[in-house]
Chain A
Amino acid sequence: MSTISSSDLDLVFGSESFGTSPASRAETSNVEFVRGQYSIAIASDAAKGRRMSPLEALAIFKFDHLLQAASEGQSVFNIHPEEPATTIRNRRIALGYTRQELARLSGVDELTVSNAETPGIPTSIRVLEKFVSWLSLDERLLGAKPEAEGDARLGVRLKALRKTSKKGNLPLRTVAALAEGSWITSRQINLEYLLETEKSLLEKGFEVSDNYHYPTWKAGYDLAERTRNILNIERNEPITSMRALIEDLLGIPLINCSISDHIAGATVANGETRGIVINTIGQNSNVWVRRMTLAHELGHLLWDPEGRLNNLRVDNYNEINKSSRNESDKVEARANAFAISFLAPPSGISEIFQDPNHEGSILKTVCEKYGISVTAAIHHIKNVTTYVVDHKSSEINDLGISPSDEWCGREDFTNDYFPIKEVRESRRGRFALLTIRAAQKKLISWDSAASYLEVSDVELVRDKAGLIISTLE
């Protein structure tokens, strides 16, 4: 095995860096690289492409490319003369976008999309990056790896979903949000990996279960109990924040977005990674309903086998609002049973019901203790205790049962307040936190961090980094 000379390492990473391998030199280097459509170079004032930290560049490109860039001014990395144009075109078609639609999503004109899809036409990497999240492609790999290692199955599912939605064609924005959710999922898991904070669900003890046997709700209840045990949640204890549990405890990307008002949420997969896309409008604007949606999606994500998820599972409010005992789709029935039982363990409901000292409304107590909606609580109380809350009673309306500020704050905080206003809700939360941490550790450049957050002013992101960290930690 040939060793790399010290002078070559100096040439690429600067003489101030130290170590005997490219990786160790990259960690201590102050040099930045810059990539364009086809090539990479050492960053200079004249270069306007995407700046990359040494570690970021080394993760994508071979050392030989970086050496050539340092010695000859630039190094061409694209794997085929028709790339990345062909990848962009094929991916757009796979996801079912017209050129006009991709242009509209990306804020460019149709000619720009057409040029980007034509081999041999120069297009700035800054323009190409406008497309990648809507196409769920890894911008770092664009031109450097076949199809930028995009998940082909996701494209097929999104396209099919758009055409076969029960309510007619899914709106463009919804398909785009799900594709973007897949992109964020992939990036977020990669950031967790770079920061060595990734969490393995398998290691925690979550192995998918193909048990949907009758009664399906029982399987859901059992999985909920198993989940609470694995996560060491005490018996009958409420889960104070589903957001924190999903993102911080389980390390599952959670992407907020405002999409079609009949869609509650979805699980998305990008290759081996899975995330949850949650709609923040419609019924989910009530955080108790949203918690139920999140628990439902978590049930899918933790326990459903890959074949059941099929890369993408979209749930509308009608499905999630059904009692698990009235749902004919056993996958949905199990997820519904999981969700209610995970948030409000049946033993906890029984305890409230049987408490001789209990005062006031059982319904109100259940909702406020466990953070579940009135509708969900009515079904759940009946299923667990056979006690029927009169739907028409004035009790429901007059009790003023609604989430407290504490409930809203715990679930909504990262959406409501973010130090940079222009950052969209889908990019806030843990994704933003990890992005900033990675930039601070030079795992990615500040330019990449700003690009991830869709902020044009790199210095603004750098200036607000401390505030973002203190807000989100």
Chain B
Amino acid sequence: MPNKLKAWFNEIGHLDHIDREDSTLQRAFAVVIFHVIKSDDVIIINGRSGRYPVKNFEEMQAIERAFMESGYQVWSTGFDEDVGEPRPFGLIIPQRGVI
């Protein structure tokens, strides 16, 4: 994982629910955001909060939109309608914007 990205990865405050030691997750981040991380206004989200998990596609979209309207560039793993669960990190390339 590139140092610049690793520093960002370790310091970013928005990713409270992830295992930062997970190498698969780090690779996914490295591939996707190496070229786009330039400032603190980028956020990559999933809906898998242990306390407040996202319940459906519409709810996931609302959260993505809320971050965008707050000034963030949003990348999201989205909601998996097949299994009715938000997608975790590490499986798909996060998509930009409201997905």
Interface positions of A (Cβ within 8 A of B) = 34-41, 44-50, 73-74, 76, 78, 81, 120-122, 124-126
Contact = CB atoms under 8 A, between A and B. Distances in A.
Contacts of B55: 46
Contact of B82 (A49, A81, A120, A121): A49
Contact of A39 (B27, B53, B56, B85): B85
A126 B81 CA distance: 11
B84 A44 contact: yes
Contacts of B28: 81, 120
B83 A76 contact: no
Contact of B84 (A37, A47, A121, A125): A47
Nearest to B93: A120
A122 B93 CA distance: 8
Chain A residues touching B, majority SS = loop
Contacts of A76: 88, 91
Contact of B53 (A37, A73, A81, A122): A73
A415 B84 CA distance: 39
B81 A37 contact: no
A49 B82 CA distance: 4
A46 B81 contact: yes
Contact of A81 (B78, B85, B91): B91
B24 A49 contact: no
Given A76-B88, A81-B28, A125-B82, 11 more contacts: A36-B82, A38-B91, A39-B80, A46-B81, A47-B84, A48-B84, A73-B53, A74-B85, A74-B88, A78-B91, A122-B87
Contacts of B24: 81
A37 B82 contact: yes
B66 interface: no
A92 to B, nearest CB: 21
A120 to B, nearest CB: 4
Contacts, number: 68
B91 A41 contact: no
A41 B90 contact: no
A122 B99 CA distance: 11
Nearest to A75: B83
B80 A36 contact: yes
Interface in B12-57: 24, 27-28, 48, 53, 55-56
Nearest to B24: A81
B61 to A, nearest CB: 14
Contacts of B53: 73
B92 interface: yes
A237 to B, nearest CB: 54
Nearest to B31: A120
Contacts of A78: 91
Interface residues of B, number: 20
A129 to B, nearest CB: 11
A156 to B, nearest CB: 31
A41 to B, nearest CB: 4
A389 B34 CA distance: 83
A50 B84 CA distance: 12
B92 A35 contact: no
Contact of A41 (B27, B78, B84): B84
Contacts of A45: 84
Nearest to B32: A120
A81 to B, nearest CB: 6
A124 B78 CA distance: 13
Contacts of B84: 34, 41, 44-48
A37 B78 CA distance: 14
A121 B56 CA distance: 19
B83 A49 contact: yes
A76 B48 CA distance: 13
Given A81-B24, A122-B78, A47 B83 contact: yes
Given A81-B24, A120-B92, A73 B87 contact: no
Nearest to A36: B82
11 contacts: A34-B82, A35-B82, A36-B83, A39-B80, A39-B91, A41-B83, A45-B84, A47-B81, A48-B84, A50-B82, A124-B81
B83 A34 contact: yes
Greatest chain B CB density within 10 A among A40, A48, A124, A125 is at A48
Contacts of A120: 28, 91-93
Greatest chain A CB density within 10 A among B78, B85, B88, B90 is at B85
B48 to A, nearest CB: 8
A122 B80 contact: yes
Contacts of B91: 38-39, 76, 78, 81, 120
Closest 10 pairs (CB-CB, A-B):
A36-B82, A49-B82, A47-B84, A46-B84, A120-B93, A41-B83, A74-B85, A36-B83, A44-B84, A38-B91
A126 B80 CA distance: 12
Contacts of A81: 24, 27-28, 90-91
Greatest chain A CB density within 10 A among B28, B78, B84, B90 is at B84
